[in-house]
Structures are given as structure tokens and as C-alpha cells.
Amino acid sequence: MDPGDLILADKGFLISDIMPKGVYLNIPPFLSTPQFTEAQVYETRQIAKARIHVERAIRRVKCYSILDRIPQYLIPQLSKIFQLCAALTNFQYPLIKEVEAYFI
């Protein structure tokens, strides 16, 4: 991770104390009052919009059947296999419509 990177995480995924300097953790706000403020509602919606795209990207990677069942002898290569599957998803159409215009 490099300074300026942003990590999206669920509530309760509290790792800010172990993150490198300059890396930001973006989690939905906790409900500490009976109701969220307008700013908290807006922030929660923005995080949810980004998370939708992250979940869609993860779903694309999971479509590679080699990840369904990894034989024991391939466990040492698992990181490389996953990276290759993730890289191959980059050749698919963009997940976000605004970016699609650059590829057509």
C-alpha cells in the first residue's frame, strides 16, 4: 500500500492502528445516536456506491473455475493464480459506465 491509497472495509474492521502512514480506511459510520446525521447518511451512501463496484469486481474474479477447488500441490502458487485471474478480469468490459467510452 502506498500513501494516498484508500481501503474500503465493513463496520468492525478496525485496522487503522496497523495501516501504513498516509493510507486511509473508509468504513461506514457507526450509529452512536438514534439517527444518522445528514452527513453520515451521505457518507454511507457514497461508500455503498463504491462497494457495489468492488463486489462486482470480486464476483468477476470468482468466475474463474480454477479458484473453485485448488489442489493441494498448487497451494504454494495460489497467490500467483489469484493475481492472474484478477489480471484477466482487466481485459473484460469496464464495470463503470463512465469508463466504457474510453474502450469503445
Cα distance between residue 7 and residue 46, in whole Å: 14
β-bridge mates for residue 24, sequence order = 6
In DSSP terms, 25 is beta-bridged to 7
Q: How far is CA 85 from CA 34, 92, 96, in A?
A: 44, 12, 19
d(CA 9, CA 28) in angstroms, rounded, equals 8
98 pLDDT tier (thresholds 50, 70, 90)? low
Tell me what pLDDT residue 104 has.
53
What are the pLDDT digits (tens) for 29-68?
Answer: 666 667 878 888 888 788 888 888 888 888 999 999 999 9
pLDDT tens figures, 3-16: 888 887 777 777 77
Is pLDDT of 102 > 70? Answer: no
